[in-house]
Structure 1
Amino acid sequence: MARVLSVVALLAFAVVGQAVSPSTFVTSQDRARLKSVFEAAAPYPDTQSAYFSISGLKLLGAAIPNAQDACKQISKVIDGGNVASIYYAATAASALGNCKIEVPELRKTLTDAIKDDASVQDIVFAYLALKNLGLPVDDASTNKALLAALKTDDSPQSHGYAFLAAAELSGDVSKFVDNIEDVIAQADEVDDKYLQFEGGLFVTSLVVDGAYRLAEKTKKAPAVAQDKVLKFTNYFLSRKHVHQLKSAYHFLSVIKILTTNKFHVPVAVSRASPVAVTQAEPSVKVYVTDLLGGSLGEMTVTAESARHLGDDAVVLSKKQFTPVASDKSLFELNFLEAKPAKGFYKLTINVVPKKADPKLIGITGAEVEVKVTTKVSVENVEIGVADKDQATAAKTTRLVYPNKATNVLEADHHQKIVMKFQLKDKTTGQLLTAHQTFIRLTNLNTKEEIIFITEADTTLTNKFDLDVGASSKEFDSLSGKYSMELIVGDAVIENPFSWHLTDVSLTFPEGGETKPDKQSQYAKKPEIKHKFNEPEKRPPATVSLAFTGLVLLPLLILLILWIRIGVNVSNFPLSLSAVGFHVCLGAIFALYYCYWVQLNMFQTLRWLGIIAIPTFIFGNRLLSALASKRALWIAPVSVVEPVHFAIQSDHKRSRKHK
């Protein structure tokens, strides 16, 4: 039982190792690309661009072009009232070395930013800017302000900034150190291989970078498990192709700290040779480096196992790589010595430094994928024509690659074309099958192609039968001469080929000879021109006139009724608003008529929008005038009635007195 448990534990350890060990590093091509990103930022539009560009070039160890001009540009674009702008300018100037920034007007902005109610970012930027400018700063008050600000905003980004500042603070920074483990626990895991924070590369690099800088200050390893460090590393390396200035700087900064810190240095085991292992190139080569491609000293590199991905067969174990004399980081292993079958393999690799170094992590369970390829030969090729009812035996012809049959095969709709062949591994002599085995028939006149798939039986013999009559629809019943080719290909076959076997003459029941004017399927097709639907035919004029009369009939009835009941036309107000409103209203009815006979909907809506504006204005004023006039009519009644009532009361009183 104990033995079984040990095996299970070993397998679990191998799974963890293979999931998190880095398999790439920052190559010389990556460094050149990052350098071009940093150099392209000049001339600097703002201090942030200057900071990322200059600091990035410094991390690469590259010269900063036109350093004096860069210093002048920083002084021109700095915003004295913005803490972030001052921080970026001060840090960039410090990176340049011989660059001074005017201090007096900036000092007050920075000192005022260090307070309890300020944001973590402003406090950190102000503190680091004062340090870079060589100005005095109160570390105790900064420490207090940072802790107070973190109570308001405890996001990973804020903690990352706080770690960077705490790495420069004097005094007790234990509270910041204690926060590292809690912040790391908030990272999201992806595919059991990556760890990242919400916010992507910027936030993740900020936290990891700050945590290790703080660890360097306290000389105590950060509370981060090794497998988490490797998962963070995998995430950073997956983003190494960034082209944005800010992302490029943060990527390079965190990779640099993961390479130079004294606690956790991930080891990258990456394949240096092509993925295919062939007879000409039988060796698997791997690089064993740090994340920046640097040598880690003398190493013992061992292939713990090589497992076939198809059937899980293990073809080698405990096989040691040989160092390459020309490169201390390069190791090779003759993989074909184990005589592996063709296919894909996964090598599990362990690395042991000659001189023990506890800071190296990811040295066990690294995985490298390779594929073993082989050359194939095609043998026992037979092709011929047989009757569909198989009343007589097929007359077949043997072919030898790459020769073409001398005679043209002829088959009509009562016959079928038959073919069989075998593929053999040239190295082992064993029969095999390929993923892609096609028969392509191409009409020699129209160049149209039809492709069929061959199938292998239990004896690994590939067979192809073409029933000419049943396949007439696929050929469009197009009789004529066709070229017949065998196409063989596979991911693990070194010599894929296309072999012109023979020409065949096919005769279909419904078709005759190929028409010379028949266009190829690849020929230019006629242009497709969009045609709008034609308008429907209008009804006869009598119908239209009758309908128009019915529409106008209510208006005629209205006029007749006005004449009978009597309309006081003289009471129509001759004001601008009244005349304008009715004119606009009439214009709307006229527009509807135009829509009926000529305009389309979009034209009508455009004109209606124009007419509606004065209609609304005139109508509003007309209604206001009518409301005011009505108020004047009602007001005298309300005044006269009380007077009349008072007169009647006095008259009654006098009569009673008498």
Structure 2
Amino acid sequence: MYKQNSYGLMMVVLMVSLTIGMISAAKTAPSSLSSTLTASNIKSLSSMIESHRPSNGGLYDNDLKETFYAVGALTRLSQPIVKDSELCKQVRGLIEQRSNDIESVFYGVSILSEIKCLAANPVPLSLIENAVQKSLENGNINELAAAVNTVFLLLDAKSISYDVANLESAANRLVSLMDADGEFKLESGSDDASIINNGVAYFTMARLSHRLKSVAGISNLVDKVVSKLPSVVSSASDSASGFVWHDLATTSSIFRGIVALTSQSEKVANTITPLQIQRIGDYLLRFKSTASLQDAFNLVIGLKSCAKNSIGQPLSVVLNPTTFDSSASGKKLVTVQIHDIFDHPVATQVTVAKVALATARNTAVISNKELSDNQLDVSELKLGSYVADIKINPSEDNFHPFTVTRTITVSGAAAVRDFKLIVADNKEALANSKQIFTVESQNQLSLELPAAKTARIFFRVVSGDQPFVAQQVGVRFVSKVNPSIETVVQAVFSVDSYSYVINSRDLGKLLNFQSGAYAVDVLVGDSSIAPLNWQVGQLTLNFDQAATGTTRYPVHQPIDHRFRVPESRPPQVVSQTFTLLVLAPFVIFLIGLPVLGANLNRFPGGMGFIYTVAFIGCAALVGLLIVTYWFSLTMVVTLRYLGLLLIPTVFFGQKTLSHFAQDRVSKPKQL
């Protein structure tokens, strides 16, 4: 297609794309959860977790840590643990065996606590005291956290007696691992801090603060940690996938730690917004179908933190249904369904702030309507795509009010009516022109428009008897002689109709001033209707300027390439003679060896034989490589192979020479 025509089509496509983009943005405004963890998701997740456990009821994946992840996820989802008594006994035995490994002890005690069998399988402090004390004093951040949380789990189960004041030094040591940017080091001697360690640090600090609230100075430590939270929150990646720190495990752990700190400091609520929490929830829900026990655990603890926090619990807002047939009878009701992240219904007061056509957002057809039973009557809406702004005001305090934007579509059929073509001498005379050509049905128009005339296309798009404002309306001109010459122009809407003014200058540029007969079509597109192509008929256009080429690529003559005539070569006998002369020294060498007395009588035996044969073989390969280079190889490839061959050649050469030297020294000199 020619250049000007392409530009015209590109402009139309650009305007259409912008329109659709704005509507899509309205549809996907990130003010509520995109999905939830439904009962079906929980069932599938539980089945996946149980598939990792052997049929005899042992450890999940035969590993204590994997069992910790599996049990933690199942109990938080209120799912039963099959054969829990056998599991408790096996875990208690592993704690006994690994009493010096504080992380294994923590996993084991946590499992017993989750299954609620810690009282029946007590873990005495004397068994793990050395590991706890060592971790509190010298362990890395994970070992320190494991020791602290193990003590708290045993205290909660009333299994041990322990003075929590002894943990004050652990709190100080934990905060000392934080650097200037708010990230935590793995251990005291390390210079590198990582945000991966922040989640376990926050959660442990929150639990220490709760237990040590009577200890002077503990609140200062919490404030020091909280003061760095804005920097940590700002370091997260806010992308299409959600609000993320590094990966699932880090995101879930940090967010759980932040939620835990909210109970210890009111300042935490100002560091993260409800919208960011909703974005975290959207990211976590992407892992609903995970096959990893660790991911399942991190998913669940992250979702639990989303569902139980005082900053702002995210909700899902779904309209059901969202599409209606304009020809259907009876009431058309839209139900607004509000659920939390675990798909539990939430009591709310719903107000529809505004409902407007997507193409006329400033004109509301419904406004400030409080819903009864969360149902909106849209029976009066005409054909079209509507954007609804809905205010959600939850009854519970932990849910904050917010507004969402949703789309409601009333589908049906549209038609073109009252098509007219008005012709005048100029644009100003169109209003009083008597030359009006009416088109009642398709393919009825047949008219020639002189170059000096101006015309206006006028028509209405209706649904039933009501005007319909479609998202995309244009007029297409296609040449009857050369169908590759075409253009689509945008029709302008005013009051209740569409129009387009034809003049030889503007339309001529789009059609490259190609005079002739053109098929005229009205194109109507909208998300609520099937695309409409209303064929008007034929319009013969005449342009007073000379037509230009219809292609940007001129015709070129075929390329005739002739190869250089090969130079004459000497007779074959000359080449053969030259080859014999080149090979003559090698032949003379072979013949001269026996003449000079060369023989194998003194060829070494034992390891000397192996070294000598290997050296001769390597030397022969080097010679063969040089010959191959002469015929086919490149210099770069040859040098690469030569470098590899030189290593064994030098090695075996040195061994061979050493052997002969020792043999010469060991044998008596013959006179």
Name the TM-score class by shorter chain: 0.5 to 0.7
User: Which whole-Å deviations, capped at 9, do the CAs of 1:452-510 have from their partners, x for residues lacking one?
Assistant: 99946748699xxxxxxxxxxxxxxxxxxxxxxx99995613456999xxxxxxxxxxx
User: What is residue 407 of structure 1 aligned with on the other side?
Assistant: none
**CA, structure 1 residues 221+453, in 2 after alignment: closer, same or farther (shift >3 Å)?**
farther
Pick one of 492, 510, 518 that aligns with 2:527.
492
- Aligned residues of 1:187 and 1:197 also touching (Cα < 8 A): no
User: What is residue 42 of structure 1 aligned with on the other side?
Assistant: 53
User: Which whole-Å deviations, capped at 9, do the CAs of 1:29-71 have from their partners, x for residues lacking one?
Assistant: 4333433343333240212222222222222222223323433
Distance 2:304 2:133 in 1: 33
Pick one of 153, 161, 164 that aligns with 1:139.
164
Secondary structure of the corresponding residue to residue 300 of structure 1: strand
- Aligned residues of 1:187 and 1:196 also touching (Cα < 8 A): no
Letter in 1 for 2:233: A
Secondary structure of the corresponding residue to residue 365 of structure 1: strand
Distance 1:599 1:47 in 2: 62
Secondary structure of the corresponding residue to residue 320 of structure 1: strand
Pick one of 293, 296, 305 that aligns with 1:248.
296
More divergent stretch after superposition (139-148 vs 486-495): 486-495
- Aligned residues of 2:417 and 2:462 also touching (Cα < 8 A): no
Offset of residue 231 of structure 1: 0.8
User: What is residue 96 of structure 1 aligned with on the other side?
Assistant: 115
Distance 1:571 1:495 in 2: 96
Distance 1:159 1:589 in 2: 60
User: What is residue 234 of structure 1 aligned with on the other side?
Assistant: 279
User: Which whole-Å deviations, capped at 9, do the CAs of 1:120-179 have from their partners, x for residues lacking one?
Assistant: 221111222233343344423333123213323443554432343344442234245312
Offset of residue 94 of structure 1: 1.1
- Aligned residues of 2:319 and 2:337 also touching (Cα < 8 A): yes
Distance 2:262 2:626 in 1: 84
Indicate yes or no: 2:375 matched with 1:322: no
- Aligned residues of 1:26 and 1:240 also touching (Cα < 8 A): yes
**CA, structure 1 residues 277+380, in 2 after alignment: closer, same or farther (shift >3 Å)?**
same
**CA, structure 1 residues 197+550, in 2 after alignment: closer, same or farther (shift >3 Å)?**
same
User: What is residue 190 of structure 2 aligned with on the other side?
Assistant: none
Offset of residue 620 of structure 1: 0.9
1:605-644 matches, within 5 Å, as: 615-624=649-658
**CA, structure 1 residues 620+379, in 2 after alignment: closer, same or farther (shift >3 Å)?**
farther
Indicate yes or no: 2:572 matched with 1:549: no
User: Which whole-Å deviations, capped at 9, do the CAs of 1:542-574 have from their partners, x for residues lacking one?
Assistant: 5664343233245478899999xx989799975
Indicate yes or no: 2:104 matched with 1:71: no
Secondary structure of the corresponding residue to residue 136 of structure 2: coil
- Aligned residues of 1:21 and 1:366 also touching (Cα < 8 A): yes
Pick one of 225, 228, 243 that aligns with 1:182.
228
Pick one of 373, 380, 384 that aligns with 1:342.
384
- Aligned residues of 1:305 and 1:318 also touching (Cα < 8 A): yes
Indicate yes or no: 2:265 matched with 1:210: no
- Aligned residues of 1:423 and 1:432 also touching (Cα < 8 A): no
Secondary structure of the corresponding residue to residue 233 of structure 1: helix
Distance 1:49 1:438 in 2: 65
Aligned CA-pair RMSD: 5.5
Distance 1:182 1:610 in 2: 56
Letter in 2 for 1:41: H
Paired residue total: 501
Pick one of 25, 31, 39 that aligns with 1:28.
39
User: What is residue 247 of structure 2 aligned with on the other side?
Assistant: 200
1:220-369 matches, within 5 Å, as: 221=266, 223-225=268-270, 228-242=273-287, 243=290, 244-261=292-309, 263-266=310-313, 268-279=315-326, 280=328, 282-297=332-347, 299-316=348-365, 318-324=367-373, 331-335=374-378, 337=380, 339=381, 342-343=384-385, 345=387, 347-353=388-394, 358-361=397-400, 363-369=401-407
Indicate yes or no: 2:405 matched with 1:374: no
Distance 1:64 1:20 in 2: 37
- Aligned residues of 2:351 and 2:368 also touching (Cα < 8 A): yes
**CA, structure 1 residues 582+37, in 2 after alignment: closer, same or farther (shift >3 Å)?**
closer
**CA, structure 1 residues 23+295, in 2 after alignment: closer, same or farther (shift >3 Å)?**
same
Secondary structure of the corresponding residue to residue 187 of structure 1: helix
User: What is residue 535 of structure 1 aligned with on the other side?
Assistant: none
User: What is residue 3 of structure 2 aligned with on the other side?
Assistant: none
**CA, structure 1 residues 498+460, in 2 after alignment: closer, same or farther (shift >3 Å)?**
closer
User: What is residue 523 of structure 1 aligned with on the other side?
Assistant: none
More divergent stretch after superposition (231-240 vs 420-429): 420-429
Distance 1:593 1:21 in 2: 73
Structure 2 alignment gaps of length 5 or more: 1-25, 55-59, 185-194, 420-438, 444-456, 477-482, 492-496, 501-520, 535-569, 667-671
Pick one of 84, 91, 112 that aligns with 2:133.
112
Letter in 1 for 2:103: A
Indicate yes or no: 2:122 matched with 1:83: no
1:459-470 matches, within 5 Å, as: none
Distance 1:374 1:39 in 2: 49
User: What is residue 148 of structure 1 aligned with on the other side?
Assistant: 173
TM-score normalised by length of structure 1: 0.60
- Aligned residues of 2:384 and 2:411 also touching (Cα < 8 A): yes
Name the larger-Rg structure: 1
Pick one of 581, 588, 592 that aligns with 2:621.
588
**CA, structure 1 residues 544+125, in 2 after alignment: closer, same or farther (shift >3 Å)?**
farther
User: Which whole-Å deviations, capped at 9, do the CAs of 1:427-447 have from their partners, x for residues lacking one?
Assistant: 4544776869999xxxxxxxx
Secondary structure of the corresponding residue to residue 364 of structure 2: strand
Distance 1:247 1:284 in 2: 37
Distance 2:251 2:276 in 1: 12
Secondary structure of the corresponding residue to residue 353 of structure 2: strand
Offset of residue 91 of structure 1: 0.8
Secondary structure of the corresponding residue to residue 336 of structure 2: strand
Letter in 2 for 1:229: P
- Aligned residues of 1:193 and 1:234 also touching (Cα < 8 A): no
Distance 1:544 1:138 in 2: 102
Distance 1:579 1:125 in 2: 64
- Aligned residues of 1:438 and 1:453 also touching (Cα < 8 A): no
- Aligned residues of 1:423 and 1:433 also touching (Cα < 8 A): no
Higher relative CO (CA 8 A, sep ≥ 6), structure 1 or 2? 2
- Aligned residues of 1:116 and 1:146 also touching (Cα < 8 A): no
Distance 2:92 2:622 in 1: 69
